[in-house]
Amino acid sequence: MKKFGLLLAGGIAAMILLSTIGPMVGLLVSLVLLYFILKMFLKAESTGKKIGLGIIGFIVLMASIHNAPAIIGVAAAYVLYLVYKKWNEKKYVAVKEESDPFVNFEKQWNELKNY
């Protein structure tokens, strides 16, 4: 039943991720453009150039805000990663040597044989 829940959560997260690939790419491109515009704005010396870059930067900022659903896609990618990690998790059962009489007997027998 646990695997079914993981499969269901992974399927939903995969569908959300696939439906938000467009906004994710748009957000990435607009943030890269905004970064370079900010660098050019800080290097600009004339007031006219700063005003022009400020206007262009504002337009690109509005474009990046328009791609806000990409944040949901990033969250879906993280959920998909968690489902993958949980699916491949192995359960290790630790056996105590003191509680297993056969292991304890074998160890004592080997100690007696060495004397």
**Average pLDDT per 10 consecutive residues for the chain, totaling 115 residues:** 84 91 92 95 93 94 89 91 84 58 75 79
Given a contact cutoff of 8 angstroms between Cβ atoms, the answer to whether 17 and 77 are in contact is yes
User: How wide is the angle at C-alpha 100 spanned by C-alphas 98 and 103, nearest 5°?
Assistant: 90
User: How wide is the angle at C-alpha 12 spanned by C-alphas 8 and 17, nearest 5°?
Assistant: 145
Q: What pLDDT, on the 0 to 100 scale, is given for residue 99?
A: 63
Given a contact cutoff of 8 angstroms between Cβ atoms, the answer to whether 63 and 23 are in contact is no
